[in-house]
């Protein structure tokens, strides 16, 4: 039987623990309650001998999960209740690490939009399935955040500068590009998903995924990687923008315009965290990300970014820094050790 929580369905079927995100009208945005429910399910199934495999999917055609539910975060942050957001991010990051370290296969089906918090749920899983409609991205800099939920780790472990490019610009990846950069594993046409889910539920045999796999329609990144590596190899945001501005290619000219829109502070900190994630593990990356998100409401551009992009929709944010040459001291202040408030992977689900 399913636990019929309105926004998330949790049940066991056969030898499979099955979680379905059930907020299609909100593009399955991940709320705090949903994140806690998912963590509790995983905690229970970790040692449940009747569960051999976990399957995570979502209702609706438009999105697996378009991000975290930021309406509450905005309202609480506007009222200077910063602890709500800090608690949300602390628990969410713990969930992300549990997904990555889960001792049994986790199979995730990503249709439509998978962004932000959705990436944190899906892209650390062991078996990540995409289809024709999949659009995966980390667009956080556009709202004054950085690629978090372990996004800096996923972006940083790519060879060259493709991860830097994706993190700063928030570029959406189709199925082939997502597989190319390590955000997904397998392309299965959506018409075959129902049969595959039935087979997985009946057998808990992940080899069925490979049997259903097909080549994904060709993406763009593989053909752009040489230019991206050349243009994004600089150490600072200003130098990257100069490289783009000095290049006459259509790609460079389009990209330099995209760097003019997000928060300069967020992009500068994203550049630092993505590159730092080239060494170390996921937990290290999550700890760095939490240092930024802990401060994002009162010291960063998060509240203004949400106002401009989501609430008022005037798309004219007044960022704390008007230019890309953000002082290093300001970057360091956002990413400094939090002392007793540091994120750790321990803690209980509430």
Query: What tens digit of pLDDT does each residue of 311-350 get?
Result: 999 999 999 999 999 999 999 999 999 999 999 987 544 4
pLDDT at 5: 54
What is the spatial distance between Cα 71 and Cα 76, in angstroms, rounded to a whole number? 9
Mean pLDDT of the chain: 95
- Who's near 312: CB < 8 A, 6+ residues apart? none
Walk me through the domains of the chain, giving residue ranges and CATH numbers. Answer: 1-137+175-218 (3.90.226.10), 139-169+220-350 (3.90.226.10)
170 included as an active-site residue = no
Residue from 140, 177, 289, 301 carrying the catalytic annotation = 140
Residue from 67, 68, 163, 170 carrying the catalytic annotation = 68
- Written in H, E and C, the secondary structure of the chain is CCEEECCEEEEEECCEEEEEECCHHHCCCECHHHHHHHHHHHHHHHCCCCCCEEEEEECCCCEEECCECHHHHHHHHHCCCHHHHHHHHHHHHHHHHHHHCCCCCEEEEECEEEECHHHHHHCCCCEEEECCCCEEECCHHHHCCCCCCCHHHHHHCCCCCHHHHHHHHCCCECHHHHHHCCCCCEECCHHHHHHHHHHHHHHCCCHHHHHHCCCCCCCCHHHHHHHHHHHCCCCCHHHHHHHHHHCCCHHHHHHHHHCCCCCHHHHHHHHHHHHHCCCCCHHHHHHHHHHHHHHHCCCCCHHHHHHHHHHCCCCCCCCCCCCCCCCHHHHHHHHCCCHHHCCCCCCCCC
In this prediction, residues 154-168 reach a mean pLDDT of 95
What is the spatial distance between Cα 209 and Cα 314, in angstroms, rounded to a whole number? 44
Query: What tens digit of pLDDT does each residue of 166-221 get?
Result: 999 999 999 999 999 999 999 999 999 999 999 999 999 999 999 999 999 999 99
Residue from 69, 92, 148, 177 carrying the catalytic annotation = 148
117 included as an active-site residue = yes
Quote the pTM value.
0.95
Residue from 17, 85, 116, 117 carrying the catalytic annotation = 117
140 included as an active-site residue = yes
If phi > 0 it is left, if psi is from -120 to 50 it is alpha, else beta; for residue 56 that is beta
Q: Is residue 4 over pLDDT 80?
A: no
43 included as an active-site residue = no
Q: Which of 40, 19, 17 is nearest to 28 (CA)?
A: 19
Please give the backbone phi and psi of residue 278, each rounded to the nearest 5 degrees, phi first: -65, -20
């Amino acid at each position: 039987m399913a636990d019929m929580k309105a926004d998330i369905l949790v049940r066991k079927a056969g030898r499979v623990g099955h979680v379905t995100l059930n907020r299609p009208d909100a593009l399955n945005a991940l709320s705090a309650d949903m994140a806690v429910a998912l963590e509790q399910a995983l905690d229970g199934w970790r040692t449940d001998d009747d569960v051999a495999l976990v399957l995570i999917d979502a209702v609706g055609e438009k999105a697996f999960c378009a991000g975290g539910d930021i309406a509450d975060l905005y309202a609480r942050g506007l009222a200077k209740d910063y602890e709500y957001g800090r608690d949300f991010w602390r628990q969410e990051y713990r969930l992300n690490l549990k997904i990555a370290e889960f001792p049994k296969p986790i199979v995730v089906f990503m249709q439509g939009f998978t962004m932000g918090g959705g990436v944190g749920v899906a892209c650390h899983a062991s078996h990540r399935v995409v289809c024709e409609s999949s659009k995966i991205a980390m667009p956080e800099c556009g709202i004054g955040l950085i690629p978090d939920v372990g996004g800096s780790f996923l972006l940083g472990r790519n060879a060259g500068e493709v991860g830097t490019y994706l993190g700063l610009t928030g570029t959406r990846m189709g199925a082939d590009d997502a597989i190319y950069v390590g955000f997904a594993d397998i392309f299965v046409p959506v018409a075959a998903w129902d049969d595959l889910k039935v087979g997985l539920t009946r057998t808990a045999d992940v080899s069925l995924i490979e049997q259903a796999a097909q080549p994904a329609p060709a993406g763009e990144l593989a053909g752009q990687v040489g230019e991206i590596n050349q243009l994004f190899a600089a150490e600072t945001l200003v130098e990257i923008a100069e490289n783009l501005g000095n290049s006459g290619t259509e790609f460079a000219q389009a990209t330099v315009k995209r760097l003019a829109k997000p928060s300069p502070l967020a992009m500068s900190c994203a550049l630092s965290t993505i590159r730092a994630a080239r060494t170390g593990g996921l937990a290290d990356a999550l700890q760095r990300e939490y240092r930024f998100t802990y401060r994002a409401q009162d010291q960063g551009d998060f509240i203004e970014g949400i106002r401009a992009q989501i609430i008022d929709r005037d798309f004219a944010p007044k960022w704390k820094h008007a230019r890309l040459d953000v002082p290093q001291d300001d970057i360091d202040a956002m990413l400094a050790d939090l002392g007793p408030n540091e994120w750790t992977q321990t803690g209980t689900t509430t």
